[in-house]
């Protein structure tokens, strides 16, 4: 799994941080998403997918690894 964020789309709602705090954080000055782990471990996949689905700005994109 590869996680990509679009900081230009982010509105700073913080849903991603609340859902997957080891993968996402927010900048202190404006609350915009910061990606901490672009290739999180498999055990974080469900939380990352939930975070992406909860993002009101659709600023999180997930690319699955192909076999």
Count up the domains in the chain and report the number.
Answer: 1
- Structural domain including 8 reads 2-63
Mean of the per-residue pLDDT values for the chain?
A: 96
Tokens of 54: 């909860």
Close Cβ partners of 10 (under 8 Å, ≥ 6 residues apart): 32, 33, 57, 59
CATH number of the domain that residue 46 is part of: 3.30.70.20
pLDDT for the residue numbered 66:
62
Tokens of 40: 């999180």
In whole angstroms, what is the distance from residue 38 CA to residue 54 CA?
18
Which residues in the chain show pLDDT less than 70? 66-67
pLDDT for the residue numbered 43:
96
- Give 13's Cβ-side CA count (13 Å radius): 16
């Amino acid at each position: 799994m590869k996680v990509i964020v679009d900081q230009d789309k982010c509105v700073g709602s913080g849903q991603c941080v609340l859902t997957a705090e080891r993968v996402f954080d927010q900048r202190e000055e404006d609350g915009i998403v910061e990606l901490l782990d672009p290739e999180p471990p498999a055990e974080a996949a469900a939380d990352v997918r939930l975070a992406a689905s909860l993002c009101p700005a659709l600023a999180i994109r997930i690319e699955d690894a192909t076999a």
